[in-house]
Amino acid sequence: MLIARVYCSFAQERPHFNKSDSIFVFNSKLDFRIKQKMIDSAFVNNSTAPNFVVIIATNKLTGVTKEVCTEAPFVIGGLDRNKGSAKSQKYNIQPLYFNTKSALENIGFDEYSYTELLNYGKRKEIRRIVSLVLKDNREQEYNFQGTRKEQFMFAHILFNNGIMSTRGDIAGNFMMLKRMK
């Protein structure tokens, strides 16, 4: 009887996500050309204010493949930390394979889970910001107030909705947001 109660309470605690939550966060309808333009733009930015980029990364140690949001220079650093032929991968051919713990840590592979990302995407203010940036055709400055992990989740959602985000070089909490076309 006790086992049944524990199982039932666990089942009730599981978060429920509807289809619109998933579409908003992962947006499979984003035009591939826009996504590629964002990736290319992020990797040619050599300034001290790097762009956030979402890549498809495979952990070769566990076989897990998932979307990861990180700053573009950290992808290059992660590839440099790989062993063998995985070192010579090109950023624009995905998925990217990471075969050392150091490489995975460098890109923040385990920074947050999909459940955490979906929960974060349910926040009304996140949806409002995305909506406002998509309506405006000019770059906007945004003062991000949250943890590093939340900033990566925020940038992940922005990227998947066609919004390029750049971390400020002087104050990391200032971000530049721009709708890509």
Closest by CA position to 153, among listed 25, 40, 30, 29: 25
Give the Cα separation of 22 and 157 in Å (integer): 10
User: Which burial class, exposed, middle or buried, applies to 12 when counting CB atoms under 10 A from its CB (0-12, 13-18, 19+)?
Assistant: exposed
Whether the CB-CB separation of 171 and 132 falls below 8 Å is answered with no
Q: What is the mean pLDDT of residues 41-62?
A: 94
Q: What is the mean pLDDT of residues 57-83?
A: 96
| pLDDT for residue 171 | 67
| Residue 168: band (very low, low, confident or very high) from pLDDT cuts 50, 70, 90 | confident
Q: Give the least confident one: 54-63, 73-82, 104-113, 169-178.
A: 169-178
Give the Cα separation of 32 and 29 in Å (integer): 8
| pLDDT for residue 4 | 41
| pLDDT for residue 27 | 86
Q: What is the number of H-type helices and E-type strands within the chain?
A: 8, 6
Quote the tokens at residue 106: 């460098």
| pLDDT for residue 127 | 92
Q: What is the pLDDT of residues 135-146, one digit of tens each?
A: 988 899 999 999
Q: How many CA atoms lie within 13 A of 80 on its CB side?
A: 7
Closest by CA position to 140, among listed 179, 169, 89, 172: 179
| pLDDT for residue 19 | 76
Domain ranges of the chain: 19-179
Give the Cα separation of 17 and 83 in Å (integer): 38
Q: Is the whole model's pTM more than 0.75, yes or no?
A: yes
Q: What is the pLDDT of residues 3-50, one digit of tens each?
A: 443 433 334 445 566 777 788 888 888 888 999 999 999 999 988 899
Q: Mean pLDDT in the chain?
A: 88
Q: Is the pLDDT of residue 2 over 70?
A: no
